[in-house]
Structure 1
Amino acid sequence: MSQARGRGRRRDGHEEEHENHERWLVTYADMLTVLMALFIVLFAMSQVDQTKFEKLRASLAMAFGQESVAFDAQGKALAGEAGGSDTSPADVTVGQPQDAKTKEAAKQAVAAAERARASAGQRDAKREVDEFDKIKKRLQASLARQDAANKVRFRIDERGLVVTVVTDSVVFANNQAVLLPAGQRIVDTIAPELRPLPNGVEVDGHTNRLPVVSGPYPSNWELSTARASTVVRRLAGDGIAARRLTATGYADQKPLHPYGDDQAMELNRRVEIVVKSRLPAETRTLLPSAAGQLPTG
């Protein structure tokens, strides 16, 4: 009996420890704790800063100067707050009908934003047209000193300031793309005014509709491109950075005057030096209307 009782004890008199078969629960609990912490962090990161939304709402209200539509962190529209309305804000969610007041507030906000964008675009277009007009006047004065003012015309379109050089026999020989001395003087007079500008410069060659019957060029496509390239090389030689220059030939495909006009054959045979606009595409479309506001003469 004494031997049997002694088997369950160690020699020092303490009972042996039983093997713990539930230690995996500790590891499992640790994993759950880590996962819970992870989801808490993800949830916290997904919350939108309500203060920033309030600042945005106030800024829009001040910019529009009228009742506007603000958005809370859940993506709901709140109408009437900026205008100080006594009515409670109306929540608008996608797929739910809007009441008349909320619809009107949203319409006013969109209309105000469109007016603000259009007004800013018109101001930018007018500012650039004014700069183009200054360039034009400087060019006119320089060309007048070279007795070449009658060889150059100016206009503004959605590309920018267009300087049209009529390529008659004084500028280019018939069916040739080599600048004659008078043509060289015209390009050399234009180049100094364009050199300090940040704008790109596009040179477009145009011919009239008479077919090429002699010379080194098989068609008006090659002739118009060669003339544009000749002007580009001259401008580059006058100090305009090559990266700013492009040359394109259009043959007779973009006539400036209808061929019923007595001067069409002469005036459509031209090289256009375009001082390109730096405005965004949608604002560049406003340049012709802004140019129409300039005084003539």
Structure 2
Amino acid sequence: MAKRPKRHAQHEEHMDESWLIPYADLLTLLLALFIVLFASSEMDAKKFDQMVRSFNVALNGGVGVLDQPSPIPLDPNMMQQTIHKGAQERPKTEEEKKLEEAIRKETEDLKKLQTQLEGYIQQNKLQDKLQTKLTEEGLLITILDNALFDSGSAVLKPEARKLASEMAAMLVPHPKKVTVTGHTDNVPIHRAEFPSNWDLSAKRSVNFLKVLLENKKLDPTKFSATGMGEYHPVAPNTTAEGRAKNRRVEVAILRDLASPPKNSVNP
């Protein structure tokens, strides 16, 4: 019987894949680089320091830049100061300059109106009944209810009508949105005309608004009135003094432009 020829073992030829190891290492390092760059762009030194520590743990197979201790500890305050300094050195666009100038002018106008109102308050010795405050939203005028109404009433006193007329005249050169908001304390009211504090606060704000708009030089479309009842107190309702502060009417002359930074607004 003839012998079968021996078959030689067939070996498939394989490509040399040893290049995948340095290639994978290179991709890992590139990923680490981009993540570190992204973390740096976030301008947060604390997050950056945490990111560095994380990569030191993940990539501890060799000694590299990330494994070396920083010769100077990262100071978040110093880093933030450097960032702000760089931002200030960036030249502003024309739009930014125009917006800043418009905001500055609007703030000056509101300050002038505040000065006028403060003069009226001092002249009429109303310091204990009227207050003004310049905020990020605009100029807020707070009037305690005893300067405007009798207890439980929404009818303006004669001197309150005079105050509203004077205020309206001051608002004419400042054609801005104006909100009138009525507030009460938490003592329940039970009257046929005012079943609740909601009704009383709303009626008081509307009545004050009507006297303002008796000045025909004002644009009614820019005015609105709201009743908040007892639900936005500025003082505890547990004392007579606190309840007196909560019974008030707030007149807000609102800004037309974006609010300036907090440190540029005088309270």
Please say whether Structure 1 and Structure 2 have the same fold, judged by a TM-score greater than 0.5: yes
Which residue is equivalent to 1:252?
Answer: 230
- Aligned sequence identity (%): 23
Contact 1:143 1:189 survives alignment (8 Å): no
Which residue is equivalent to 1:228?
Answer: 205
Which residue is equivalent to 1:180?
Answer: 157
2:241 corresponds to which letter in structure 1?
A: Q
Which residue is equivalent to 2:135?
Answer: 157
Q: Distance in 1 between matches of 2:236 and 2:177?
A: 29
SS of residue paired to 2:224: strand
User: In structure 2, do the counterparts of structure 1 residues 144 and 112 end up closer, same or farther at CA, with 3 Å as the change threshold?
Assistant: closer
Answer yes or no: is 1:195 the counterpart of 2:176.
no
State the shift of 1:103 in Å.
2.6
> What's the CA shift string for 1:3-52, capped at 9, x where partnerless?
xxxxxxxxxxxxxxxxxxxxxxxxxxxxxxxxxxxxxxxxxxxxxxxxxx
Q: Distance in 1 between matches of 2:43 and 2:181?
A: 44
Which residue is equivalent to 1:206?
Answer: 183
Gaps of 5+ in 2: 1-29, 45-82
- Picking from 252, 260, 264, the partner of 1:290 is 264
2:41 corresponds to which letter in structure 1?
A: K
State the shift of 1:162 in Å.
0.5
Which range is displaced more, 125-134 or 199-208? 125-134
User: In structure 2, do the counterparts of structure 1 residues 254 and 108 end up closer, same or farther at CA, with 3 Å as the change threshold?
Assistant: closer
Answer yes or no: is 1:136 the counterpart of 2:114.
yes
Q: Distance in 2 between matches of 1:220 and 1:114?
A: 54
- Count of equivalent residues: 192
Contact 1:179 1:230 survives alignment (8 Å): yes
Answer yes or no: is 1:171 the counterpart of 2:148.
yes
Q: Distance in 2 between matches of 1:261 and 1:113?
A: 50
Contact 2:179 2:223 survives alignment (8 Å): yes
Contact 2:136 2:265 survives alignment (8 Å): no
User: In structure 2, do the counterparts of structure 1 residues 103 and 234 end up closer, same or farther at CA, with 3 Å as the change threshold?
Assistant: same
TM-score after normalising by structure 2: 0.60
State the shift of 1:290 in Å.
3.0
Superposed, 1:1-297 pairs within 5 Å as 97=31, 99=33, 103=37, 107=41, 115=87, 128-168=106-146, 170-239=147-216, 240-260=218-238, 262-280=240-258, 283=259, 286-287=261-262, 289-292=263-266
Q: Distance in 1 between matches of 2:85 and 2:159?
A: 52
RMSD: 3.6
SS of residue paired to 1:196: coil
SS of residue paired to 1:161: strand
Q: Distance in 1 between matches of 2:42 and 2:242?
A: 50
